[in-house]
């Protein structure tokens, strides 16, 4: 999984722009197969914060399938939120990588462990 995060400005209204992170993820063929096999394309891996300039429509969660299609912009209220969001996106991507790896391994018929 190769990730590129780019800070950009995105038009969010007639005259408004907002800071955004353009997220591009290149998945290996093995990862793509695990995403398909595990049904992960429809799963939300990151839920961005809600913004005051989204009164009529809200930016929803970022689904794994969006990343398969190419770069995906995530808008933020201000530059401070974008910086904090970058950290959260990195953590969400680490979790996504772990879920993809788990989806690639077959389930054990049974497992015994002690708590």
7-63 pLDDT per residue, tens: 999 887 788 888 889 999 999 999 999 999 989 999 999 988 776 655 444 567 899
The whole-chain average pLDDT of the chain stands at 87
Smallest Cα–Cα separation from 7: which of 92, 57, 78?
Answer: 78
Question: Is the residue at 88 inside a domain?
Answer: no
Tens of pLDDT, residues 62-88: 999 999 999 999 888 888 888 999 999
User: How is residue 67 written in tokens?
Assistant: 């990343």
CB–CB of 87/46 below 8 Å? no
Q: Does 12 fall in a domain? A: yes
Q: List Cβ neighbours of 8 (8 Å cut-off, separation of 6 or more).
A: 19, 20, 21, 22, 73
User: Is 60 among the domain residues?
Assistant: yes
User: For residue 93, is it within any domain?
Assistant: no
Residue 56, pLDDT score: 44
Q: Please state the domain count of the chain.
A: 1
Note whether residue 95 is domain-resident: no
How far is residue 100's CA from residue 110's CA, in Å, rounded to a whole number? 21
Question: What's the whole-number mean pLDDT along residues 92-111?
Answer: 88
CB 57 within 8 A of CB 106: no
107 lies in some domain: no
Structural domain for 7, as ranges: 2-76
């Amino acid at each position: 999984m190769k990730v590129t995060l780019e800070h950009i400005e995105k038009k969010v209204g007639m005259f408004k722009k907002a800071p955004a992170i353009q997220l591009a993820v290149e998945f290996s063929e093995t990862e793509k197969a695990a995403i398909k096999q595990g049904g992960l394309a429809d799963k939300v891996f990151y839920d961005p914060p809600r913004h005051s300039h989204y009164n009529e429509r809200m930016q929803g969660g970022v689904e794994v399938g969006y990343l398969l299609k190419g770069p995906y912009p995530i808008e933020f209220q201000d530059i401070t939120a974008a910086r904090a969001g970058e950290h959260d996106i990195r953590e969400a991507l680490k979790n996504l990588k772990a879920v993809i790896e788990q989806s690639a391994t077959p389930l054990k018929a049974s497992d015994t462990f002690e708590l």
